[in-house]
Amino acid sequence: MKQTQMRRCVSCREIKHKSNFFRIVKLAEGKIFVDKSGKAQGRGAYVCKCEKCITEMKKRRRLDKTFKNAVSIDLYDDLVSTLSALH
Ligand SMILES: [Zn+2]
């Protein structure tokens, strides 16, 4: 496995292959969204595709710190619905 494909979860801090994560990206102009294509250019943050990590991330508002920006609660809710769409 290539090292460049490894990412760290913002919630549990575990390092895994990027296919195990949802990617949240911040574009240069400041827009923050769930990058479902995985190809958007910008600063990325990663969270495990599990309810525990997403709930924890939402509760602690982890992305605010990562992106040094107040992240809308809608984005966390979007992650929750993206996760439930997988099942
Ligand atoms: Zn995690």
Distance of CA 24 from the midpoint of ligand 1 (Å): 14
Distance of CA 27 from the midpoint of ligand 1 (Å): 23
Is the model's pLDDT at 2 over the cut of 70? no
Distance of CA 46 from the midpoint of ligand 1 (Å): 8
Distance of CA 20 from the midpoint of ligand 1 (Å): 9
Distance of CA 83 from the midpoint of ligand 1 (Å): 13
Which strands sit side by side in the sheet containing 43-48, from one edge to the other? 32-34, 21-26, 43-48
pLDDT in tens, 23-55: 999 999 999 999 988 889 999 999 999 999 999
C-beta of residue 24 within 8 angstroms of C-beta of residue 75: yes
pTM score: 0.91
The confidence score (pLDDT) of residue 3 equals: 72
- Is CATH 3.30.1230.10 correct for 3-86? yes
pLDDT category at 87 given cuts 50, 70, 90 is: confident
